[in-house]
């Protein structure tokens, strides 16, 4: 039986491979054959089915590798390889097309000597900390409301989540109009928040919290709904107040949910680009050390402007490498601390 199965599998693999190759030739040769797409799919299915049913000694392990390979290959091709090439380019005078010389650590020295980069780093860290706290506080509060017995909770959940479905660029331009036109018209004599360096960052913070809180709320809501009912009922019978139940039972039991949500908000805040680009695009300017710099240019926007607007691709790539390292260190540290707190709780 196994011998017959093996022969059938080999036949399916060879036939599928042949059909696949023929269909590729038809596609590359711009053939007008209407069945070339069907042949391509049929060849893949036959070859894949033959491999899947082939009686290997370590069938499961081999099949895991076979089915994971396309994803791993794509990930390596689109993420790992460009990242390694990017590190290489950071040590050259790359202009976006080619490089002429190796410059060593000149790009790194120039980056850390740049006031606008150091300023962007500082305000990005400040924004990340405040936004991470704001989003999680708002999201957890909304989750508690959504998990309550109030009427219409389904509508509230949908309403809170909808802002997250709108693209950041579109949302940014809408809120730019609201800040520049609507608020100014409603509050006569007032200036737009986007004209003040400090208030402009607050404006981005408000929009970011409004957009992302709904998504994080859904994660908290899932955690709250997974709490054992018998534990909550026991606390109620024992006379525990709502506040005591919240801090002594609910929060400790969904500590892993807090780890996930804090991680997501930290990474999202640190990588903030679309809202920053659409709402202020780095404006307005402020004077720092006798030099005018963009007051709301976060790290991601600073990297974009360096590479795209100023055509300093090597320097922009250098900033991107450091950006990745900083984000990786912060994220891993946060997860490690949160996991430790989970155990303590």
How do residues 206-230 score in pLDDT, each as one tens digit?
999 999 999 999 999 999 999 888 8
149 vs 114, higher pLDDT? 114
Spatial neighbors of 135 by CB under 8 A, at least 6 apart, are: 208, 209, 212, 213, 216, 265, 269
Q: How many residues does the chain have?
A: 345
Burial of residue 232 (number of CB atoms within 10 Å: 0-12, 13-18, 19+): middle
Mean pLDDT, range 46-53, rounded to an integer: 78
Mean pLDDT, range 67-90, rounded to an integer: 87
Distance, in Å, from the CA atom of 184 to the CA atom of 273, rounded to the nearest integer, reads 25
- Position 59 scores a pLDDT of 64
For residue 64 the two structure tokens come to 């895991």
Question: Sign of torsion, CA 17 22 24 27?
Answer: negative
| All domains of the chain in start order, with CATH | 2-89 (no CATH), 109-344 (1.10.3720.10)
Work out the percent of the chain whose per-residue pLDDT is above 90: 46
- Position 188 scores a pLDDT of 77
For residue 59 the two structure tokens come to 């069938």
**pLDDT averaged over the chain?**
88
CB distance 173 to 234 below 8 Å: no
Work out the percent of the chain whose per-residue pLDDT is above 70: 95
Task: Tell me the backbone φ, ψ of residue 293, rounded to 5 degrees.
Answer: -130, 160
- Position 91 scores a pLDDT of 94
Say how far residue 156 (Cα) sits from the centre of its chain. Answer: 25
Q: What is the pLDDT of residues 142-199, one digit of tens each?
A: 999 888 888 888 888 888 899 999 888 999 999 999 999 998 888 877 889 999 988 9
CB distance 111 to 117 below 8 Å: yes
**CA atoms within 13 A of residue 234's CA, in its CB half-sphere:** 8
Q: Model confidence at 57, in pLDDT bands (50, 70, 90)?
A: low
Q: First and final CA of the chain: distance in angstroms?
A: 57
Spatial neighbors of 196 by CB under 8 A, at least 6 apart, are: 284
For residue 167 the two structure tokens come to 């693209």
The stretches of the chain forming alpha helices (DSSP H) are 2-28, 36-53, 59-75, 81-89, 106-112, 115-146, 153-161, 168-177, 183-186, 197-225, 229-237, 242-245, 251-253, 255-270, 274-279, 299-304, 313-344
Residue 293 pairs in a beta bridge with 286
Region for residue 297 given its phi and psi (left: phi exceeds 0; alpha: psi -120 to 50; beta: otherwise): beta
Distance, in Å, from the CA atom of 263 to the CA atom of 247, rounded to the nearest integer, reads 21
Q: What is the pLDDT of residues 298-332, one digit of tens each?
A: 999 999 999 999 999 999 999 999 999 999 999 89
Mean pLDDT, range 79-87, rounded to an integer: 89
Task: Tell me the backbone φ, ψ of residue 58, rounded to 5 degrees.
Answer: -115, 60
Q: Model confidence at 204, in pLDDT bands (50, 70, 90)?
A: very high
């Amino acid at each position: 039986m196994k011998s017959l199965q093996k022969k059938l599998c080999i036949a399916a693999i060879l036939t599928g491979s042949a059909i696949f190759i023929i269909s590729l030739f038809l596609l590359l040769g711009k053939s007008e054959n209407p069945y070339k797409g069907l042949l391509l799919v049929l060849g893949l299915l036959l070859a894949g089915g033959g491999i899947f049913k082939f009686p290997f000694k370590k069938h499961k392990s081999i099949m895991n590798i076979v089915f994971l390979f396309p994803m791993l290959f794509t990930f390596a091709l689109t993420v790992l390889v460009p990242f390694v090439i990017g590190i290489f380019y950071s040590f050259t005078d790359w202009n976006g097309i080619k490089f002429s010389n190796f410059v060593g650590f000149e790009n790194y020295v120039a980056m850390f000597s740049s006031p606008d980069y150091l300023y962007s780093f500082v305000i990005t860290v400040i924004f990340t900390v405040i936004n991470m706290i704001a989003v999680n506080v708002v999201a957890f509060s909304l989750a508690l409301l959504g998990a309550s017995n109030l009427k219409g909770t389904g509508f509230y959940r949908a309403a809170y989540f909808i802002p997250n479905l709108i693209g950041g660029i579109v949302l940014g331009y809408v809120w730019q109009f609201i800040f520049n036109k609507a608020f100014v018209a409603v509050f006569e004599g007032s200036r737009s928040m986007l004209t003040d360096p400090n208030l402009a960052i607050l404006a981005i913070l408000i929009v970011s919290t409004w957009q992302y809180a709904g998504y994080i709320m859904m994660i908290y809501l899932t955690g709250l709904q997974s709490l054992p009912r018998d534990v909550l009922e026991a606390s109620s019978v024992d006379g525990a107040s709502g506040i005591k139940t919240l801090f002594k039972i609910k929060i400790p039991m969904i500590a892993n949910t807090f780890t996930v949500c804090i991680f997501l908000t930290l990474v999202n805040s640190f990588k903030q680009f679309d809202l920053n680009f659409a709402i202020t695009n780095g404006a307005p300017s402020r004077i720092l050390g006798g030099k005018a710099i963009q007051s709301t240019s976060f790290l991601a926007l600073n990297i974009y402007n360096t590479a795209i607007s100023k055509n300093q691709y090597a320097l922009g790539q250098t900033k991107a490498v450091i950006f990745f390292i900083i984000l990786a260190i912060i994220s891993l540290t946060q997860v490690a601390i949160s996991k430790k707190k989970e155990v303590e709780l």
